[in-house]
């Protein structure tokens, strides 16, 4: 098989794009995309970067996958079946400053939320993600480098129908720190609408709100470039806790008092709430299928997002698994899906 290696430079990260004509099998559909079938990558692609919390250099490769595979992580530094970690809400084991997945053998992969958001925003259903360590590289702290990777790799439809999780009645989580709810879509069919409010004592952030109906266009134009953020005064405590070992001005917005320390400042005046929406999109894509419904959140984070999904799927009357072709009146399909093995 002939391979053409293409090297692309993005945001200071070296991204090696190995353009391989991948044989997805007889299930690949070459004609014009219908928007009603599952998708995967057309070619495999590789990148490397620093782990935000470990500080280690991490290599990551994305590979095409068969229909109904879903998003699956594989630790190449672990042998055998122990290396496989499905990207599902019921595999979340830690939500301190990131979302961490683990399998039954305790093998983990952390900081998956930005990649998951990019896969959701680019409407990718099935992909094998190989990493050589316990964390996804942070890149520049946003999902934009992952969107770039996916666009370089290209997408292809598979001969299998998509399904969405249609939220049919409201479920909610209310805690002292924040609250979140998922309910039916306000205008059917409308994909997933997110209404998120954040409230920080720091004056640089303060109170911010963003409401967005998630689609490929809205994600790429409004969400994917927003970076993770933190406070300079918290760095020492985080390091002592073994976290943020790889954090820097190259991969996070850093705030000190009333100043943003990054050269060039913010990418959006409300970059903070946009990044929180990005995190929410990635965490909710761990449902295993795109959600059709309305999310509302106040001061939410990875923990609340996961608790909300667990509550949703614990109540069988609150959701239906629906073929996407029942939503064919949608002007532009906003999500891609795979078979919901965990809940069907």
pLDDT digits (tens, 9 = 90+) for 59-68: 999 999 999 9
Least confident among 21-30, 112-121, 139-148, 241-250: 21-30
Q: What is the pLDDT of residue 143?
A: 99
Which structural domains are found in the chain, ordered by start?
3-161 (3.30.230.20), 164-327 (3.30.1700.10)
- pLDDT-based confidence at residue 188 (cuts at 50, 70, 90): low
Which residues participate in catalysis according to the annotation?
302
CB 153 within 8 Å of CB 45:
yes
Say how far residue 252 (Cα) sits from the centre of its chain.
17
Give the residue from 59, 42, 96 showing the smallest Cα distance to 301. Answer: 96
- pLDDT-based confidence at residue 245 (cuts at 50, 70, 90): confident
Beta-carbon contacts of 32 under 8 Å, excluding residues fewer than 6 positions away, are none
pLDDT at residue 338 tops 60: no
Average pLDDT score over residue span 9-27: 39
- Tokens linked to 122: 């680019």
| SS3 at position 251 | coil
pTM: 0.87
Average pLDDT score over residue span 70-75: 98
- pLDDT-based confidence at residue 243 (cuts at 50, 70, 90): confident
Q: What is the pLDDT of residue 339?
A: 40
Mean pLDDT of the chain: 87
Question: Helix H segments across 254-297?
Answer: 271-284
pLDDT at residue 321 tops 50: yes
């Amino acid at each position: 098989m002939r391979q053409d290696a293409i090297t692309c430079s993005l945001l200071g990260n070296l991204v090696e794009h190995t353009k391989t004509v991948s044989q997805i099998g007889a299930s690949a559909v070459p004609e014009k995309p219908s928007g009603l079938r599952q998708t995967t990558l057309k070619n495999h692609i590789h990148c490397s970067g620093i782990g935000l919390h470990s500080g280690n250099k991490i290599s990551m490769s994305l590979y095409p996958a068969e229909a109904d595979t879903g998003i699956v992580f594989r630790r190449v530094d672990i042998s055998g079946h122990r290396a496989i970690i499905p990207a599902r809400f019921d595999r979340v084991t830690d939500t301190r400053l990131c979302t961490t997945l683990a399998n039954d053998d305790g093998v983990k992969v952390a900081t998956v939320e930005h990649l998951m958001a990019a896969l959701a925003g680019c409407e990718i259903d099935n992909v094998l993600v190989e990493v050589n360590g316990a964390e996804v590289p942070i890149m520049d702290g946003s999902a934009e480098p992952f969107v770039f990777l996916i666009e370089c790799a290209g997408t292809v439809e598979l001969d299998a129908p998509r399904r969405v999780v249609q939220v049919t009645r409201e479920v909610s989580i209310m805690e002292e720190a924040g609250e979140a709810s998922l309910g039916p879509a306000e205008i059917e069919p409308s994909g997933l609408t997110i209404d998120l409010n954040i409230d920080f004592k720091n004056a640089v952030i303060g109170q911010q709100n963003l409401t967005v109906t998630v689609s490929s266009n809205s994600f790429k134009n409004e969400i994917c470039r927003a970076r993770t953020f933190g406070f300079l005064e918290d760095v020492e405590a985080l390091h002592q806790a073994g976290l943020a070992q790889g954090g820097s001005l190259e991969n996070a917005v850093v705030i000190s008092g009333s100043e943003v320390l990054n050269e060039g400042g913010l990418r959006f005046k409300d970059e903070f709430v946009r990044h929180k929406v990005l995190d929410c999109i990635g965490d909710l894509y761990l449902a295993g299928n795109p959600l059709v419904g309305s999310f509302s959140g106040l001061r939410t984070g990875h923990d609340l997002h996961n608790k909300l999904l667990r509550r949703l799927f614990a109540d069988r009357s609150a959701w239906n698994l629906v073929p996407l072709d029942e939503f064919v009146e949608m002007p532009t399909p906003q999500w891609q899906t795979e078979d919901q093995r965990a809940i069907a």
